[in-house]
Amino acid sequence: VFVFSGQGSQWVGMGRRLLADEPVFAAAVDELEPVFARQVGFSLREVIEQGREVSGDARVQPVIMGLQLALAALWRSYGVVPDAVIGHSMGEVSAAVVAGALTPEQGLRVIGVRSALMSRQAGQGAVALLELDAAAAHELLAGFSGVEVAGYLSPRQTVVAGAPADVDAVIAEVAAAERFARRVNMEVASHTAFMDPILEELRAELADIVPQTPQIPFLSTVVDPSGPTPVLDADYWVANVRQPARVNQALTVAGDKYGTFIEISPHPILTHTIDENLDAVPHRSIGTLVRDDDDTVVFHQHLNSADQLSPRELPHPSGPYPVLPTTPWRHTRHWLDVEQAITAAESAPRPGLLLGTHITVGSTPAVHLWQARLAPAAKPYPGSHRNNGVELVPASVLLNTLSEAAAEVSGHGAVSDIRFEHPIIVDRPRTIQVVADAETVTVSSKSVTDDPAGRWIKHLTARITPREEAVGPTVGSARGVDHTGTVFGDDAVTSLWQAWGSEGRPFEWSLASGSRTETELFADVTAASAGTAALLDAALHVARLVDEANPELMVPSAVDEVRLGAAPADGHAGVIVRRRDGNDGELVVDIVVPGPDGTPCVDIRGLRYTALGSSTPADDPSSIAHVIDWEPWDGEPQSPSQPGTLAIVGGSSAAERLREQLTALGHRNAGVAEAKTVVYVADPGHADESDVDCAARLAGEVADLVATLATRETRPPALWLVTRGVHEAATEAAVRQSCLWGLAGVIRAEQPQLCGGLVDLADDETAAADVAALAGILGTPAKSVLVLRDGKFLAPAFTPLAGPPQREPTVCQPDGTYLITGGLGALGLLMAGWLADRGARRLLLVGRTGLPPRRDWDSEEIEAGVRQKVAAIRALERRGVTVDIAALDVGSRAAVVELLARRDEAGAPPIRGIIHAAGITEGQLLTEVDADRLRDTMWPKVSGAQVLHELFAPTTLDFFFMTAAAGAVFGVPGQGAYASANAYLDGLARARHRQGCHSVSLDWVAWKGLGFGAEAHVVLHELERMGSRPITPAEAFAAWDHVEHYDVAQAVMVPLPAEGEQGTPGAGGAGPVRDWAQLSADDILSELEIGLRSILARELRMPEAELQLDRPFAELGLNSVMAMAVRRDIEGLVGLELSATMLWNHPTTSALAAHLTGKLVPRDDAGDDAAAGGDLPESADSVLNELFDSVESAPAGWDGI
């Protein structure tokens, strides 16, 4: 039986591989192509061939049908011919064509008309899948007049549909009874009364369809499938849209006659339903393709599972034919490439180092590569090193690695300018690469489970100290060190580090005695094994105790210089630590461990410890880098027939036209003091008004309006902002208005009672459908930015930036200059280092305030802040980077033009890339806005960006990065001007991106201790409130590197919970139920862990050995559809009926096994392990539900932008 499922199986790239590999499939698509284009208005082949994403009923349904018809032809070509067909919802149209009742042209006409009419109802309804039988569902819905049964899938699954709020209420009630209940990704309440408005038009459009008698039995899901075959005319297709789909009846009838059921779809969504309906009879349920998998391989796997083959529909000798035994295909990739050639040479890292197999790359100068495989069972240190519960490679191993690599390249082991960029987490196997040339050493890694295109994470960089600087002075012994301070012992070291959040010692060493003062520390230590790494580890641990009073977990973040020598043969040495001045929140020390001859075996200058905090840095940059997707808004606008009093504010002709249009729909004009709703329509002004003046005017007008409305004595009105074309940013006028997108979030944060939202209309004349939609929403505050196009509202949602790379990352050219505005600030100098890492050799750093003349850089009179900037510039210059500094106001066009003219006259290399990082913050509430301060805050970002935009055409730059702030996206109280300025950058980036420039606005969250995060405590509070946090510079640059692989104009750089990767369902069932009563609780627990591991591994299609018992199901890729299959197999294993919420409440294999043990044995015999499987607290349960939801659907954003 061919089963044609309904909507929901589509995915990007479906069928593309089959076009190349299967001629029959390609021919079927080509045969459909002219008919498809004629009936639905676009190309099926282009959608498949180009891997385009399809959305909206009017496109999704025809594409799925086209795929289904081509897949049916493919099955037939291999001899698999249906004895009967079944269709679910829209799938009935495909079934009718395959059965011969409709021609392909008739079928595509039915689906085209059907989907176009249904799309009119988009957004008005919702659909849910419930773990209830039909009777229970009807009993429940008696209390919900707005919800109806839309489909009967199986004895335990019912589909309901209706108004979104009512459907959500039904879901909540079912979930409260610990039954599965989830929304389905549909926005049309098909098969309910919500379809009544389109039925007569559908009947009229299809009135001339003349169906034929099916050549293959057509088992209807609309009428009784055991009765006569219905006539598939216009009346039938009206009933198909309106009546509930009775899939269970059709499957039950088919199960009495047939044993093999093949779902014809891009991804299986009915195979589990088939299994549940036919559980009592022998049967086989097979899919066709699987989401995000190899089409050709998956199809042939399923083909191999279809035992009952008919003769191929190709020329060949006549039958009969023997049925060949199935072959268990095992597909493994064996492509040879450079990546795998290197991987094959990997070895475990050397003890105390991360160095593995050595390869010399033939270049001038030579490049040396060491590659090793790091794994929890193959660490280069014998002990453990856990910070906040996470195993990390210790700093002792990292520094030892840098020194050894430098020694093998240069003959000495001195390294300097060491930067710890990202910790190496030892939670899974990783490939470690250490690369050294004549000047630098870099340590990077990549998870071995990544695909070949997976990203490398840079963890550590250092400069090899020139030979003439590498010989340090003889330091003598510990004489002269103050030994009269506080005495401490080995136990103190262990207890303090544990209190700070770090457990374990990577190497075995002991402390005989120690003493410390406020600025000095001496420790007598002995390493159990010879070698520098253990002694270095002891020194790094005891050095932290010089600042014992600081309760933070502090770890090395940077080192000025390291020299390592041979350790004493007996491992015994004295550690001398001297404290130096450092920045706030930073501990800076020098460490010396003298050797027997007075030459230091450890000499560390300028080691900086910084607070790690309680959060572990993100290992996946896609948990920080996000894009904004625009999805159908799930709000419920009022009917346009419910007008109210309205004040339209704005002096533009667009405001006047909108006032007339809304008045025509029944809204009554009123003043701001009396109106129930106030609508501010942005006026982009005239060309002679600068962008910063326009932005300040718009923001000031809105702030004045907020201040007025906030003091109104009557009930607060809903304030709406209206912009035009900002979403596309195709015109200068649209870019000017983009500042209001940032201001909208601040209104929501400061004055939520006033916030209606912001609606962005199309840039051209407003269509009647948009005016009607706008009129309907004004009475329903959305508190979000909404885009209104073609009568439909779109709302923002954050999506992690992931998927295959779309572009090669930017590489700076050695003959170009790269400009950084705000280049002398803390962020600007770090960004300068990032550009140097990318190959930049000439940097132009621009700031309002320059630096003293170079002759004064070593003066003791310069301030500490200036000294830090000088040190950063000298570090760049030591790397071979030429740094020019210009003190000017980047917002002044004349000043920038003069600078460029001087550079041209001097023959300076052209500017090829820009990072616009200039900006200031100025906190003031919207009700207290001062016009001058408002403009001053906007000036560096807005005016500076406009000047650079006008002087550097899009085609003249390799890149134009704008450092905006995430406050423009989620809204921060008191930051109206700052958020507006950053939102302007977002709009300008979209505009330049449209013109072909690699222009990206990066909406940064606060960086720890730097820039915005260091100045505004309210930002940190808002981050904490929303469940986010500041990020470290290392995390920031790793995420920026990640963004560079994608063609986006805006990236929101905010750490959010990591998304699980969606898995794919497998097949299989549990064996016969065993007699659990004969086993003890411990034996039951052990047997259940084995059985559950087998079931889960089969469903997740992964080796059992790789399934970790304590890893959450969502992280393994288990979604709720797969959870149904898992639950059914577990029911077969334990012989009990279980709820689908079981997997939510017990989210790991070990927890689930303990929970089931408690059900299989008396409670007093279950033991402590079984007791551990009890229900989670409600808060944890909520988190798990969100995590499972994130696996199945596009992630929802915060409350708008």
Give the Cα separation of 527 and 573 in Å (integer).
Answer: 9
Q: Could you report the per-residue pLDDT of 443-496, keeping only the tens digit for each? A: 998 877 544 445 678 888 898 888 766 555 544 444 445 556 788 888 888 888
Asked if pLDDT for residue 18 goes beyond 60, the answer is yes
DSSP 3-state helix, strand, coil percentages of the chain (rounded to 5)? 40, 20, 40
| From 385, 459, 541, 1042, the catalytic residue | 385
Phi, psi angle pair for 603, to nearest 5°? -135, 105
CA-wise closest residue to 214 among 99, 69, 108, 95: 99
Task: For residue 437, count CB atoms less than 10 angstroms from its CB and return exposed for 0-12, middle for 13-18, buried for 19 or more.
Answer: middle
pLDDT surpassing 80 at residue 1068: no
Q: Tell me the Ramachandran region of residue 100: left when phi exceeds 0, alpha when psi lies from -120 to 50, beta otherwise.
A: left
Indicate the pLDDT class of residue 1178, thresholds 50, 70 and 90.
very low
Which pLDDT value is given to residue 248? 93
Q: How far is CA 1120 from CA 10, 1101, 1108, 1183, 1192, in A?
A: 17, 16, 20, 15, 7
Lowest-pLDDT range, 203-212, 848-857, 1086-1095, 1128-1137? 1128-1137
Distances (CA, A) of 690 to 694, 697, 991, 1019, 1106: 6, 11, 17, 30, 61
pLDDT at 635 exceeding the cut of 80: no
d(CA 988, CA 742): 13
**781 vs 364, residue with greater confidence:** 781
Percent of the chain with pLDDT over 70: 85
- Which of the 8 DSSP states describes residue 781? -
Inter-residue long-range contacts of 338-341, CB under 8 Å, 24+ positions, other chains counted: 339/452, 340/452
Distance CA(910)–CA(472), nearest Å, equals 42
Inter-residue contact 893 to 950 (CB < 8 Å): yes
CB atoms under 10 Å from CB of 572, counted, come to: 14
Assess whether 537 carries a catalytic annotation: yes
| Cα–Cα separations (whole angstroms), residue 999 to 145, 180, 646, 733, 989 | 51, 45, 40, 19, 5
Q: Is the pLDDT of residue 1078 over 50?
A: yes
Give the pLDDT score at 1097.
84
Is 272 designated active site? Answer: no
State how far the alpha carbon of 169 is from the alpha carbons of 128, 143, 174, in Å.
11, 11, 9
Identify the weakest region by mean pLDDT among 880-894, 1062-1076, 1140-1154.
Answer: 1062-1076
938-996: pLDDT as tens digits: 999 999 999 999 999 988 999 999 999 888 888 877 788 999 999 999 999 999 999 98
Structure tokens belonging to residue 1178: 């409600």
Pick from 451-465, 1066-1080, 1111-1125, 1166-1180: least confident: 1166-1180
Number of C-beta neighbours around residue 413 at 10 A: 22
Written as six digits, the tokens of 318 are 């006549």
**Residue for token digits 């003249």?**
956
If pLDDT is split at 50, 70 and 90, which confidence band does 581 have?
confident
Decide: 222 and 190 in contact? Cβ < 8 Å. Answer: no
Helix, strand or coil, per DSSP, at residue 149:
strand
Mean pLDDT of the chain: 83
In the set 166, 417, 537, 683, the catalytic residue is 537
pLDDT confidence bin for 698, thresholds 50/70/90: very high
Amino acid at 235: D
DSSP string, 439-471: SEEEEEEEETTS-TTPPPEEEEEEEEPPGGG--
Average pLDDT over residues 722-733: 92
What is the token pair recorded at 649?
């504010």
620: left (phi over 0), alpha (psi -120 to 50) or beta: beta
- Rounded to whole angstroms, the Cα distance separating 529 from 548 reads 28
Q: Are 91 and 18 in contact (CB under 8 A)?
A: no
**Predicted pLDDT at 186:** 78
| Confidence band of 547 (pLDDT split at 50, 70, 90) | confident
With cut-offs at 50, 70 and 90, classify the pLDDT of residue 1075. confident
Quote the CA–CA distance of 113 and 1190 in Å, as a whole number: 33
Residues 317-373: tens digit of each pLDDT: 444 445 555 555 655 555 444 344 444 445 789 999 999 989 887 766 778 999 999
Query: What residue ranges define each of the domains in the chain, with the CATH number in brackets?
Result: 2-122+191-306 (3.40.366.10), 124-186 (3.30.70.250), 374-466+493-613 (3.10.129.110), 628-797 (3.40.50.11460), 817-1053 (3.40.50.720), 1076-1160 (1.10.1200.10)
Name the DSSP letter for residue 1007.
Answer: B
- pLDDT (0 to 100) of residue 1115: 74
pLDDT at 427 over 50: yes
User: Rounded distance, CA 593 to CA 1115, Å?
Assistant: 45
Distance between CA 826 and CA 872 in Å, rounded? 10
